């Protein structure tokens, strides 16, 4: 049976896959609705004006919140939008189903994972490829439970013990994407500083280094180390992650810092991050040489 095609904002079409996360469904729905509105040649104000007679609750703000994923619309509301945008019946039915799925709750949305990070985890669940550069920390997808516990306790020292354990458990559940039947392809570049910063004491750190060494043999996982000898590099501005997601018009870049999480979606922004990752990869040690460096550091903790 042929997949149903949905409008993208860039004018292309996307085949709708099954079994993805509610987070990705919301992103797909928002992108599709923006695409259909653009095809209908309606501004947000014009769309809201045509929707208002259907319900007094419609407004410019509501349409905008739907398109920016600040609000997951009810299936009936998506039906209203599809009618105004003159969406063919078969495609409208798919949009309505997407709305139902977008309003479901993924495990991460009921976990102690901080709200800003829940979106990242939800996207990870559906991503086909994740490329990540880290300056100071072992990525969450590769952390041991002991390392995660020590790290969270150091960063958030006031976290109650029971909450801490729930956070660690959620982080371990998050790692299932690496061992599912269709595992996530994970490409990681670590600054050498990550491997030179023991967390949690000698035993915990040795366990974390062993975990990294073990994962280097996985076919869906690539680890490169950016050595100190590389000198100044484009990653000095901060860590970042690039996610490739099914049926979105472009990849998504994620930046995290004390002010909060930032998602970059414009093609120019994502292209800059992609080029930066490529440069860092060219400066980093090869995967084989990275394993050799990792093994030498691990030997210091035996």
Q: Is residue 145 part of a domain?
A: no
- Work out the pLDDT band at 14, boundaries 50, 70, 90: very low
User: Whole-number mean pLDDT of the chain?
Assistant: 90
In a domain, 155, yes or no: no
Most confident of 20-24, 225-229, 298-302: 225-229
Average pLDDT over residues 132-139: 97
The CATH number linked to 197 is 3.30.870.10
- Per-residue pLDDT tens over the stretch 98-129: 999 999 999 998 888 888 789 999 999 999 99
Contact 244, 128 (CB under 8 A): yes
Q: Tell me the residue ranges of DSSP E strands in the chain.
A: 5-7, 13-15, 129-134, 185-191, 221-226, 240-244, 252-257, 260-264
Nearest to 253 by CA among 283, 222, 274: 274
pLDDT of residue 295: 96
The answer to whether position 153 is within a domain reads no
As a whole number of Å, the end-to-end CA separation of the chain is 57
Do 72 and 119 share a domain, yes or no? no
The closest of 272, 157, 196 to 149, measured between CA atoms, is 157
Contact 241, 131 (CB under 8 A): yes
List of residues 6+ apart from 296 with CB closer than 8 A: none
Do 90 and 131 share a domain, yes or no?
A: no
pTM, two decimal places: 0.85
233 and 125 within one domain: yes
Asked if residues 49 and 42 have their Cβ atoms less than 8 Å apart, the reply is no
* pLDDT at position 7: 47
Closest Cα partner for 292 from 221, 164, 195?
Answer: 195
Residues 239-285: tens digit of each pLDDT: 999 999 987 878 999 998 766 789 999 999 999 999 999 999 999 99
The enclosing domain of 67 has a CATH number of: 1.10.260.40
Same domain, 121 and 91: no
pLDDT tens-digit series, residues 30-84: 999 999 999 999 999 999 999 999 888 999 999 999 999 999 999 999 999 999 9
* pLDDT reported for residue 48: 95
The total number of structural domains in the chain stands at 2
**Domain boundaries, position 71:** 5-102
Tokens 């703000």 correspond to 61
């Amino acid at each position: 049976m042929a997949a149903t095609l949905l409008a993208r904002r860039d004018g292309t079409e996307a085949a709708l896959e099954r079994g993805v996360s509610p987070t990705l469904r919301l992103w797909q729905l928002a992108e599709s609705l923006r695409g259909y509105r653009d095809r209908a040649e309606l501004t947000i104000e014009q769309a809201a004006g045509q929707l208002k007679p259907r319900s007094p609750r419609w407004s410019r703000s509501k349409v905008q919140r739907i398109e920016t994923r600040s609000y997951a619309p009810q299936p009936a509301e998506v039906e209203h939008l599809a009618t105004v945008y003159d969406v063919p019946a078969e495609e409208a039915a798919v949009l309505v189903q997407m709305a139902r799925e977008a309003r479901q709750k993924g495990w991460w949305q009921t976990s102690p994972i901080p709200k800003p990070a829940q979106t990242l985890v939800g996207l990870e669940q559906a991503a086909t490829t994740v490329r990540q550069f880290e300056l100071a920390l072992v990525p969450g997808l590769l952390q041991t439970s002991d390392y995660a516990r020590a790290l969270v306790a150091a960063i958030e020292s006031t976290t109650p013990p029971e909450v801490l354990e729930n956070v660690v458990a959620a982080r371990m559940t998050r790692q299932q994407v690496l061992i599912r039947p269709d595992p996530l392809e994970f490409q990681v570049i670590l600054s050498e500083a990550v491997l030179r910063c023991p967390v949690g004491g000698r035993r915990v750190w040795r366990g974390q280094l062993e975990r990294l060494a073990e994962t280097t043999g996985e076919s869906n996982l690539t680890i490169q180390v950016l050595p100190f000898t590389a000198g100044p590099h484009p990653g000095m501005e901060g860590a970042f992650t690039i996610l490739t997601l099914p049926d979105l018009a472009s990849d998504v870049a994620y930046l995290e810092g004390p002010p909060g999480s930032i998602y970059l979606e414009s093609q120019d922004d994502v292209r800059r991050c992609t080029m930066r990752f490529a440069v860092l990869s060219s400066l980093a040690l090869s995967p084989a040489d990275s394993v050799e460096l990792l093994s030498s550091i691990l030997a210091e903790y035996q």
